[in-house]
Structure 1
């Protein structure tokens, strides 16, 4: 039973922060082990201080949160490992990279990746976009021999920006619903806010950090650096064509987007309801990425002179690598969930109520602090939306700007308690320090730029 005396959830947050830094940075434990210990410990602190949280739940809630995380990302990450391995080994990733460079020029490869991730992230969720484009960033680095930090940042920037600003991604969609904002207006304002945020976070910061930090290409997702560099030197005649190379990405995007389209426009076109059950199945990211993985694996087998048994062994190695990434990512989410169980979200939200600053800035601050404290961007956005919804009548501008401010705040400072941090680190093959310098700073720049854009747009175009 919880001890009944005054307790600030900030104490639990501080303990979790100190512990995770001690375990992962100072003692350099394996990420999964360190995050597991940190999550269990935060659970024990909750059991001491939080009402209706028993010592047994310190274990069971950690396991449940980990299981929920695996349910969301387990199959996609495993299939992404197969896609990445197959596209890199078959030469498909190289073909796409060379096609990009032939269109925009070798010096503008970052723009090609940035544009692709930004557009793809509107119909497809952030994690799926990163699964699909990270192999291209790795291949581009292998081909050019430099700019790996830049390529990873531009991919992450496009995907992360659309994730918090542009429906039908779930965060802004749910916030718009809670606030009561028209979806069309939310999309229009979201795109307007997303563009400067993606430019500043991806192209501007990406080019800056690339000149400061030289991140080497490391073994990741079952593929070694030597294999990547060898594929980069292959002749064009020995690798698949553009259509076959792009097929896994096309399949994943079209299948996932098909459900997004039907779900968004079913009310406008009622006939779409007849195909919704089928589209709900093939458009599920687990199924879509599985189909894409099959296509990629078959191309790998067709274009490599290897036996079927060796092909199976190579895919199994990729799955082993993917399993480790999935476990780390899910446990990072579990650590964040245990911090959230301390009540840190509502505590922070309550502390901000009644502060005499503009509602737009207040919403951003609440979402930002909750995000840093508990890790989940979507949870921070939804918590803040529930607080701000009753206050929308006080706004002098269109409430779509409030949705964007909440999204911007919810994206800030992704770190150890966010599964996205570990996803970026593990798939990219980065160290923790490199991930903090790239991904954590990137998400913060997107957040601050998003707020500035909202304040500027709402001043000149209040739309009220």
Structure 2
């Protein structure tokens, strides 16, 4: 009966999404109906929803806000443009795929997918036109890098939300995520991208890159872009090997906290990309405000996912599903991928797919039967599986590059599926040794 209720709930979520209901509203409605279907009283249901929303936002609101601010400063000050041009100049046309892949990876870590995609599209057109190469040959490595960072690496909403649900270490998630992301993006971006070397879709015109006066230096731009990753990774990689009472270990633990790391990065970006270059305070504060506005709806969707997770837990269905998986000797990491992938195919949203799967599988992680970081990455990989017509990313890719639905399925959808499946295989492999 529990499985039937969950299937019907996911079906309702799918129907609401198709009918253009806001994901936040759709998730709340489905959460309420699930709670009532499992016999929770109205007071119990509301309390569970409040607890879920509070715990979710309490652990990740600042991370998302500071991450969005950093990304907007990189975008609006021209730092993202500087990074892109630098990589192209250094790697040259003969290594175009590697250049755009690195470009997408560096830009994709701090920027949310949609923002990174919009920023990099003009470069894809310009690079493809200047080198007289098919658009997809250049676009696939770029899109794959953005997608991998979106699915596997904080401060993107999905991984951050999953970390909150599973109580996973952000530092370990970044380290493990990079371990999986690098070979995955090489396979999906470069190896798969090569099949479009002679594709018929060519750039219509050579777009001219925007020239902006007083662009920031390349070293400064890259340093600010990667600073939070460096701080968190340094804390996770060095801190555990220092004596517990060591002052250095205490300092590393502090700066390695995701909130502190991103706060330091926002300060560094504001100074080195803004004030030090003569940008007025009112302009920087405007960027702060616009960045926070841009993640408001994302935060509410994730908050609703937290409510769904709590209701699934309090109603007992999550424990029942986890017990079913354990009782049937179903590998937990495979289970995480399968649940997230199934929801992704039905719903379309990678973030909702990951969060919903996490709510169902959280008791399995809480029981200590699997590493929270590897389970996070497994759900993240599953949430990228088989993007199709119910995913906004599918339509963005199709429209920007002038493809047919069939061409988009054979390029974008295949790329996302390769990322998802290769990610799972690498997670299963690396989790045996790390």
Q: TM-score range by the shorter chain?
A: 0.5 to 0.7
Deviations 1:276-319 (A, max 9, x none): 33322222111211221222233453487765434433432222
Change in CA separation of 1:98 and 1:115 when aligned onto 2, cut-off 3 Å:
closer
Match in the other structure for 2:311: 338
1:42 aligns with 2:34: yes
Q: Indicate the larger mover: 153-162 or 74-83.
A: 153-162
Please report the RMSD computed on the Cα atoms of aligned residues, expressed in angstroms. Answer: 5.1
Q: Could you tell me how far apart the structure 2 residues matched to 1:71 and 1:175 are?
A: 13
1:319 aligns with 2:306: no
Match in the other structure for 1:243: 219
| Stretches of structure 1 lacking an aligned partner (at least 5 in a row) | 1-7, 121-127, 164-169, 178-182, 215-228, 391-399
| Stretches of structure 2 lacking an aligned partner (at least 5 in a row) | 126-134, 155-161, 202-206, 344-352, 400-404
Q: Secondary structure of 1:255's match? A: helix
Match in the other structure for 2:256: 283
TM-score by length of 1: 0.62
Q: Could you tell me how far apart the structure 2 residues matched to 1:456 and 1:255 are?
A: 27
Deviations 1:110-167 (A, max 9, x none): 534655887x9xxxxxxx935488755543323333666652432332564578xxxx
TM-score by length of 2: 0.66
Match of 1:11 among 4, 11, 14: 4
Is the CA contact (8 Å cut-off) linking 2:243 and 2:249 kept in structure 1? no
Match in the other structure for 2:121: 141
Q: Could you tell me how far apart the structure 1 residues matched to 2:168 and 2:54 are?
A: 29
Q: Secondary structure of 2:274's match? A: helix
- Cα offset, 1:82, TM superposition: 1.7
Match in the other structure for 1:29: 21
Q: Could you tell me how far apart the structure 2 residues matched to 1:346 and 1:62 are?
A: 17
Q: Secondary structure of 1:239's match? A: coil
Q: How many residues are treated as equivalent by the alignment? A: 377
Match of 1:87 among 74, 97, 103: 74
Match in the other structure for 1:180: none
1:254 aligns with 2:230: yes
Q: Secondary structure of 2:32's match? A: helix
- Cα offset, 1:455, TM superposition: 8.6
Match in the other structure for 2:246: 273
Q: Secondary structure of 1:42's match? A: helix
Is the CA contact (8 Å cut-off) linking 2:354 and 2:380 kept in structure 1? no
1:63 aligns with 2:50: yes
Q: Indicate the larger mover: 280-289 or 334-343.
A: 334-343
- Cα offset, 1:33, TM superposition: 2.4
Change in CA separation of 1:283 and 1:100 when aligned onto 2, cut-off 3 Å:
same
